[in-house]
Amino acid sequence: MQFGSVPTVGVDALAPGDFLLDVREDDEWEAGHAEGALHIPMSEFVARYGEFTEAAPEGGKVYVLCRVGGRSAQVAQYLLQRGIDAVNVAGGMQAWEAAGRPVSDGKGGAGTVI
């Protein structure tokens, strides 16, 4: 599946251990996120790119999430242009939650997607 020219997969294609990059804003992240995801808001991504490169798996695939898939497609495109194997996650965290995947508040409780 493609989102424009960006490779795109559904939440069902994600496996435990896949590297997730969440590009939602801080308030969205704090309300609920996928446990273990790296969080760098799209609005800060270029400035914080070094944090991403330190955390991302060398030569591995990066699955980019936002709320529904628009912002993540833009960040995935940015990464693809830099030679990173990036994939947009269609439906984002809304699809993640709808598929029954765990959403964490980061404090040991259940989160919610806003």
Contact (CB, 8 A) for 92 and 68: yes
Whether 39 is catalytic is: no
Tally of CB atoms within 10 A around 21: 24
Distance CA(91)–CA(62), nearest Å, equals 16
DSSP H/E element including 97: helix 92-98
The partner residues of 88 in beta bridges, in order of sequence, read 8, 64
Identify the active-site residue in 37, 40, 66, 89: 66
The partner residues of 110 in beta bridges, in order of sequence, read 104
- The residues annotated as belonging to the active site are 66
